[in-house]
Structure 1
Amino acid sequence: MNNQISSNPEQNLEIAIIGAGISGLCMAINLKKAGITTFKIFEKADNVGGTWHDNTYPGCGCDTASILYSFSFEPKSDWTRNYPKQPEILQYLEHCADKYDIRKHITFNTEISSAFFESEKNIWRIYNASGEEFYANILVSGCGQLNQPKIPHLDGLETFSGTQFHSARWNHEHDLNDETVAVIGTGASAIQFIPIIAQQVKKLIVFQRSAPWVMPKLDFKFTTFIQWLGKNVPLTLRLYRWLLYLVHEYFVVYLTIKQNSIFGKILSAFLNFQRERIIKNESLKSIMQPNYEIGCKRVLISNDYYQALQLPNVEVVADGIKGINQNQIITKDGTEYPVDTLIFATGFDTVLLSSIKIVGLNNQLLQEKWQDG
C-alpha cells in the first residue's frame, strides 16, 4: 500500500499538515493559492474548526472582535455581532474549507501520534494513533495549544461519585437543572458559561485560585447597515480591522512590556472602579480583587460575570482545594462542599505538541529541544 501524501510524479513536493483548525486551513488555502496541491491534512476530529469544533460549552465565543478574528484574504462582512459565538465561527471556517475545496485534502478521524525525520531520505515518517504509516517531504503543525484539556491533580478525585467533565468536553446530555454544581477555575471559558448555568442550577459553587482582571465587553449586534457597508464598501472592513489591530498591539505593549505605564495605571483604576461599582457585597469585593498587576495574566472581558456571582444561589470560594471525598469537595480550611456535578474550567496542556512525539535530526526529541524554552 502506498501511503505517500501524493503519487503524482509531476509534483514531488509532498506536505503533511497536522490539524484542520484555523492554522491548518490557512496553510492549506495558501498552498493552493501558490499552486501546490500535493498536501494532506490529518485531523483527529470529524470536522474542521479545531478549538471551535471541540469547545461547545454554553456561551462559548471569542474574546477577539469578529472583524479581526478572520482571515485577511477571506473577510466576512455579515458577522452578526462584534464578538462572535462559537457556532458562527465554526460556520465561517467550514465556509472557508468549502470555498477553497480543502475537504478533499483532509483525512478526518485521524490523530497523528508521532513523526520521525529520516535524514538519509530527507523525508518524514508519520504515524497515526492506529499505527498506520505515512510519508511526506515537509511536516507542518497546525494543531495549536488549546486541544488537550488539563485536569488538575486532586487527592480523591477518583472517588467522586457524581458527574464530572471538562468545559472543553461539555456533556450536553447531562441536565444541570436542580443540581449543586461546582466549577473549578475562573479563566476565559468559565467567565462565559458561569453566567448561563447560574440561571439553571440549584446552587453553583465557584472555586477560584486567583481573581482575574475583568474589563467590559464592547459587544454589539451588527445592523444590516453595518453588514451592507462591509459588503459594498470593503475598505471600511479593512480600516476597522487595522484600527482593531493597532489598538490591541498598543494594549499588549503597554500592559505586558512597559510595566507601571500610565496607561496600565489608568486602566487598573478604571477596572477597580467598575468592580467596586458592580459588586455590592463587601466580602465578595475582597475575594474578586486581583492580587497581581494588570497584564501579568490574561485580561478577561465580560458584561455579566460579576452580576452572576452575586446571584443568591452562587458562592465563590477562594480557599484552596485539599481534596475530594466521594460527593464532597474539601477545602484547605476543612470546609466540605457537597456537589452533584463537577466542571473543570482549568484550561489546557499548553506544552506545544505535547501529545505528538516529534523526532528530528540526530534523533533529537523536539520536546527535549524546547524544554528550556
Structure 2
Amino acid sequence: MTSADASARQRAEGLPERVRVLVIGAGFGGLGAAIKLRENGITDFVVLARESDVGGTWQVNTYPGAQVDVPSLLYSYSFAPNPYWTRLYPLQAEIQAYLRRTAERFGVLPHIRFGCEIEQCVWDEDAQHWIVRTDAGVVHAQFVIAGFGPFSAPSIPKFPGIETFTGTAFHSAHWDHGHDLTGRRVAVIGTGASAVQFVPQIQPRVEHLSVFQRTPIWVMPHPDRPTNPVTRGLWRRVPGAQRSARQALAVLFESLVPPFTKHPDLLVGLEKSARWNIQRSIEDPRLREALTPRYRLGCKRPTFSNTYYPALAAANAEVVTSGIERIDATGIITKDGEHHPVDTIIYGTGFRINDHPIAERLIGRNGVSMAQLWAEDPKAYLGTTVSGLPNMFIVLGPNSAPYTSAVVTIEAQLAYIIDALRTAEKAGISSIDVQPGVQREFNDRLDRQLSRSVWATGGCDSYYIGQGGRIVAFWPGFAAQFAHRTRKLNLDDYQVVSRPAAMTTGASQ
C-alpha cells in the first residue's frame, strides 16, 4: 500500500457514513458554519476541507506580502473578537493563525476532515438527501453548506504556447517558495490585488521585472499601520472599546454604498486620492499615463499600496501594456512583435469567480448541475439558496458581497441557515428548494437596483459581471439591509417536501 493509499484509507475511516449537515470548506464561511451549528446544539455534522489546515484562502495564499484589504476589526467574527491584532490590516499568517485559534476555542476541529477533496455531490430525490463522494469515501447528508469561497480556484489564461515554456511558472495562489527569485528575469502577468501586494516584495531581488498589464488598477494610498500596545491593552481590558471601533469602521465603509450603487460621481474624491498616489510615486509621464485607469474607481476591484508604484518605477522594472500574443520556451511574445526573455512567470491572474470548477460537481434535481444552472450568469436567492439545489446553502453566493467585510455577510447568512435548519426540524420537513419564481423576481429586482451602479456605468469589464452581462457580485444596499432580509427564513419562498426523512441521523435537539 502506498503512502497516498494509506492516507486516503485513514481519512475514509474518519468519515461518517451519514450526517445531518455536511459543510464544504474550512475558511471563514465553513468555520463560521461549524461554530454556529455547535452553538445551536447541532452536533451531527462534518466539515470537509481540501487543504491540510483551516483558513481557506488564507491558508493557501502564502505569496510574499499577502494581506487583507479590510481592517482586521471588521475582517473577523463579531462573536470572536481578537484584541491582539498587530496591524490595522494584518498579513496572511496572522489571519490564518486567528482562524486556527478560533477553531480550537470553539471546539470544531474534531468535526473537520482535512485533505478531503469532493469529487461529486448529488441530490437523491427519493432519499431526500445529498450523496457526497470524496477521494476518501462517501457521506450521505440531508443538508449541505457550501463554503468553498469565491477565491479558491486560481485562473490561468490559456495563452498559446504556454506549455512550451522551459522556465519556472506558477500562480500566486500556489507560490513556489522553493524557487529563489534572486537574480532572475521575472514576468508577472496580471495587475490585480494579489500582484499589487507581491510585486513590491520581489522587485528588489530580481534582475529584471516585466509586469504585463492589460488594464491599470486604481491603487489608493494604504492606511495600514501597526496597532500600539496601549490600544491592544485597551481592547483586552475593555471589550466594548473594540466593538465600538468595529462599529465606527463599519459605518465608514457603509458610507460607500450610495456612491457605488447609485451616484458614482461621488467617487471623484477617492479618484483624486488615487491619482495623487500615482503622481507622488511616478516621475516618468509615459509610465504615469500607462498606470492611470480610464474607468471609474470601484468599477474594478480597487486596492491599497504605498509601494506598488515605486516598485514599477524602479530601474530594473518595466510595465508592458501590449497584449500577450503567445508564450515560447524562453519568454513572452507580445502583440507588437516584441520578445520578452524571462526565466520565471508568475500568474497574478485572479480566480475563477463565475465559473468555479466545483459547480460542475454539485448536481441537483433532475441531474442538473450548478454549472448548468449558472451557464449564463450565477443567480441565487439572498445569495444563499439556488433553485434546483434543495437543502443546499451557498456561503458568499451571487449578489451577497457587502461594502464592509465578507465576514459581515457570512454571519448574516449563517443566521438564515440556522433558522432554516431549525424550521425544517420543527416542521418535519425533508427538503426545501427556493421557488423558481421567487428567485427570478428577486434577481430581476436586484438587476434594476444595480443598473445605476458604478459596476454597470463605470466603463470597465470585471469579474463582478457575469458572462450574460449582469452584475453578480454585490448586494445593492447596506449590510444592515442584507442582515434584515436574512434574519429569518420564510417558508412561503420555498417548495417544501414534508415527509419523514429517508435517513436516520443523530440529529441534534
Bin the TM-score by the shorter chain. over 0.9
Contact 1:144 1:352 in 2 (8 A): no
Q: Which residue of 1 aligns with 2:275?
A: 272
Q: Distance in 2 between matches of 1:90 and 1:290?
A: 33
The Cα of 1:54 is off from its aligned counterpart by: 0.4
- Summarize the Cα distance change of 1:4–1:108 in structure 2 as closer, same or farther, 3 Å threshold: closer
Where 2:130 maps in the other structure, the secondary structure is strand
Q: Distance in 2 between matches of 1:6 and 1:234?
A: 42
Where 2:210 maps in the other structure, the secondary structure is strand
The Cα of 1:227 is off from its aligned counterpart by: 0.2
Q: Distance in 2 between matches of 1:114 and 1:351?
A: 19
Please point out which of 208, 213, 218 is paired with 2:213. 208
Please point out which of 121, 134, 145 is paired with 2:139. 134
Q: Which letter does structure 1 place at the counterpart of 2:54?
A: V
Q: Distance in 1 between matches of 2:24 and 2:356?
A: 10
For 1:44-123, what aligned pairs fall within 5 Å after superposition? 44-123=50-129
CA displacement, residues 28-75 of structure 1 (integer Å, 9 cap, x when unaligned):
001100011110001111111100110000011101101111000000
TM-score scaled by structure 2? 0.70
TM-score scaled by structure 1? 0.94
Contact 2:14 2:113 in 1 (8 A): no
Q: Which letter does structure 2 place at the counterpart of 1:348?
A: F
- Summarize the Cα distance change of 1:157–1:77 in structure 2 as closer, same or farther, 3 Å threshold: same
Q: Which moved more, 1:115-124 or 1:335-344?
A: 115-124
Q: Which residue of 2 aligns with 1:360?
A: 364
Contact 1:145 1:352 in 2 (8 A): no
Q: Distance in 2 between matches of 1:2 and 1:79?
A: 38
Runs of 5+ unmatched residues, structure 2: 1-11, 378-509
Q: Distance in 2 between matches of 1:282 and 1:207?
A: 18
Where 1:139 maps in the other structure, the secondary structure is strand
For 1:117-266, what aligned pairs fall within 5 Å after superposition? 117-129=123-135, 132-254=137-259, 256-261=260-265, 263-266=266-269
- Summarize the Cα distance change of 1:107–1:312 in structure 2 as closer, same or farther, 3 Å threshold: same
Q: Distance in 1 between matches of 2:100 and 2:55?
A: 7
The Cα of 1:253 is off from its aligned counterpart by: 3.5
Q: Distance in 2 between matches of 1:272 and 1:3?
A: 55
- Identical counterparts, % of pairs: 39
Q: Distance in 1 between matches of 2:135 and 2:160?
A: 31
Please point out which of 318, 338, 361 is paired with 1:335. 338
Q: Which moved more, 1:106-115 or 1:245-254?
A: 245-254
Q: Which letter does structure 2 place at the counterpart of 1:118?
A: D
- How many residues get paired? 365
Q: Distance in 1 between matches of 2:112 and 2:333?
A: 46
Q: Does 1:314 align with 2:320?
A: no
Please point out which of 335, 347, 350 is paired with 1:347. 350
CA displacement, residues 211-231 of structure 1 (integer Å, 9 cap, x when unaligned):
101101111111110001111
The Cα of 1:3 is off from its aligned counterpart by: 8.9
Contact 1:5 1:16 in 2 (8 A): no
The Cα of 1:189 is off from its aligned counterpart by: 0.5
Q: Which letter does structure 2 place at the counterpart of 1:333?
A: D
Runs of 5+ unmatched residues, structure 1: 8-12
Q: Distance in 1 between matches of 2:296 and 2:209?
A: 28
Q: Which moved more, 1:238-247 or 1:306-315?
A: 238-247
Q: Which moved more, 1:57-66 or 1:13-22?
A: 13-22
CA displacement, residues 249-301 of structure 1 (integer Å, 9 cap, x when unaligned):
222431x212443x311221232233223210111111101021111101111
Q: Distance in 2 between matches of 1:150 and 1:241?
A: 33
Superposition RMSD in Å: 1.7
Q: Distance in 1 between matches of 2:51 and 2:331?
A: 34
Contact 1:309 1:316 in 2 (8 A): yes
Q: Distance in 1 between matches of 2:185 and 2:373?
A: 45
- Summarize the Cα distance change of 1:288–1:353 in structure 2 as closer, same or farther, 3 Å threshold: closer
Q: Distance in 1 between matches of 2:16 and 2:25?
A: 15
Contact 1:67 1:241 in 2 (8 A): yes
Q: Which residue of 2 aligns with 1:10?
A: none
Q: Distance in 1 between matches of 2:375 and 2:336?
A: 36
Q: Distance in 1 between matches of 2:23 and 2:333?
A: 45
Q: Distance in 2 between matches of 1:253 and 1:176?
A: 44
Contact 2:83 2:232 in 1 (8 A): yes
Where 1:212 maps in the other structure, the secondary structure is coil
Quick one: higher RCO (CA 8 Å, sep 6+), 1 or 2? 1
Q: Distance in 2 between matches of 1:30 and 1:62?
A: 24
Q: Distance in 1 between matches of 2:16 and 2:272?
A: 56
The Cα of 1:129 is off from its aligned counterpart by: 3.4
Q: Which letter does structure 2 place at the counterpart of 1:67?
A: L
- Summarize the Cα distance change of 1:2–1:123 in structure 2 as closer, same or farther, 3 Å threshold: farther
- Summarize the Cα distance change of 1:285–1:35 in structure 2 as closer, same or farther, 3 Å threshold: same
CA displacement, residues 295-333 of structure 1 (integer Å, 9 cap, x when unaligned):
110111111111111110011111101111211211100
The Cα of 1:352 is off from its aligned counterpart by: 5.9
Where 1:52 maps in the other structure, the secondary structure is helix
Contact 1:147 1:348 in 2 (8 A): yes
